[in-house]
Structure 1
Amino acid sequence: MGKKILMLVGDFVEDYETMVPFQALQAVGHEVDAVCPEKEAGETVKTAIHDFRGDQTYLEERGHDFEVTATFDDVDPAAYDALVVPGGRAPEYLRTYEAVLDIVRHFFEEDKPVASLCHGPQILAAAGVLDDYEMTAYPAVRAEVEAAGCAWTDEVTVDGNLVTAQAWPDHPEWLAEFFDLLGTEVTDREVATADD
């Protein structure tokens, strides 16, 4: 049976870190609600694509319009089994909404699975929930998450209810670990072609 999962998004959330987990979680049978403060179901947020080309930081380009699927003001975190906090530019300002921080705190207080990557842990740090966790994030966020009380790693990390990754190139491992936290079993399927 699928879980009900909440995803926190906002304008210029990272495109791949939103679209890929949103669709992957649905593909294995979970229900995902993407919400944004001050937005209602059916409205959109703009995404940003962060690419890594060997510069000192990522290159940022305009992504897609991503439709939120539920109205933020109607969200009851108790109705959800897990939380996804993607990165991009959105966490910079989403962490200023007390309602966003309260949602995050609920998932940690109830020990529900939380998946976050890239700049998403900026929100977790602002919520004050990272004390004594081992985790990772986009390397430029390291000082923030360490100041929030966690131990740093440089790879996909699972610690209790929290799975973290540095950026979207970590999706295969990060999503697999999140599926494990959710109790999702993905079985191999045979692929048949017309030549078989």
Structure 2
Amino acid sequence: MVNKSILIITGDYTEDYETYIPLQILEMFGYTVHMTSPGKKEGDYVISAVHDFIPGEQTYTELRGHRIQINYDFEKVSVNNYNGLYIPGGRAPEYLRLNPKVISIVQDFHKAKKPIATICHGPLVLQAAGILKGVQCTSYPACKPDLQICGGDYKEVDVSKVVEDLEHNIFTSPAWPGQGALMKRFLEALGSKIIS
């Protein structure tokens, strides 16, 4: 296994904060991070979306965000080369879960008991991979029915919190305010020592 390598699977209209913040945190801790996307090669870009919540509105608003560079070819991904998997939220998970290779990669990480972290709409990919039955998890509230229907043990938590299922090595959070808590637990599961 390559030492200290993380795979991120994302796509167009990935949530901006939920993609850049983990990338930068993982790099700060010395991890090599491969940012990949189906149909994209090294040097290509995905477009992010910036989500915000306006008091009185029933759902989030979405604005076009940054261009995020892909730094590794998706077709070259081998689970054996990574210590963990991270899937950001946004709209990308809605179509990433339709990709058979994405599903196979997620299942292989799960079988290998490697840590998997995801946020917001990202757990939809885990749901499609069939790995959430009996797993304590959370997501953006609109995804709750999807996770419950597949047998996930859905937890309603504050958006700044993380739900960890240590038995299955899966870490989830509802939205970008929970990014710090999610990354802390993910890094600890990867073996990084965090001193508070």
Aligned to 1:191: none
Q: Secondary structure at the match of 2:184?
A: helix
CA contact (8 A) 2:119 2:172 kept: yes
1:176 aligns with 2:184: yes
Which of 93, 98, 101 pairs up with 1:99?
A: 101
Which of 158, 161, 164 pairs up with 2:164?
A: 158
CA contact (8 A) 1:28 1:186 kept: no
Aligned to 1:194: none
Distance in structure 2 (CA, Å) of the matches to 1:18 and 1:154: 23
Distance in structure 1 (CA, Å) of the matches to 2:149 and 2:113: 22
The 5 A counterparts of 1:18-57 are 18-54=19-55, 55-57=57-59
Q: TM-score with structure 2 length normalisation? A: 0.93
CA contact (8 A) 2:11 2:96 kept: yes
Cα deviation digits, residues 139-189 of structure 1 (max 9, x gap): 00000011111111123111020110001011121111111111111346x
Distance in structure 1 (CA, Å) of the matches to 2:83 and 2:129: 19
Distance in structure 1 (CA, Å) of the matches to 2:128 and 2:148: 12
Aligned to 1:135: 137
Q: TM-score with structure 1 length normalisation? A: 0.93
CA contact (8 A) 1:48 1:63 kept: yes
The 5 A counterparts of 1:179-194 are 179-187=187-195
Distance in structure 2 (CA, Å) of the matches to 1:172 and 1:37: 27
- Equivalent pairs, count: 188
Distance in structure 2 (CA, Å) of the matches to 1:81 and 1:39: 22
Q: Secondary structure at the match of 2:64?
A: strand
Distance in structure 1 (CA, Å) of the matches to 2:136 and 2:28: 29
Distance in structure 1 (CA, Å) of the matches to 2:58 and 2:64: 20
Larger Rg: 1
1:20 aligned partner, one-letter code: I
1:158 aligned partner, one-letter code: E
1:9 aligns with 2:15: no
CA contact (8 A) 1:15 1:49 kept: yes
Distance in structure 2 (CA, Å) of the matches to 1:135 and 1:112: 16
Which shifted more, 98-107 or 177-186? 177-186
CA contact (8 A) 2:49 2:66 kept: yes
Distance in structure 2 (CA, Å) of the matches to 1:122 and 1:82: 18
Q: Secondary structure at the match of 2:39?
A: coil
- Tell me the C-alpha RMSD between the 2 structures: 1.3
- 1:2 deviation in Å? 5.7
- 1:56 deviation in Å? 1.2
Cα deviation digits, residues 56-110 of structure 1 (max 9, x gap): 1111000000001100011111211100011000011111100000000011111
Which shifted more, 48-57 or 82-91? 48-57
Distance in structure 2 (CA, Å) of the matches to 1:79 and 1:173: 26
Distance in structure 2 (CA, Å) of the matches to 1:43 and 1:187: 37
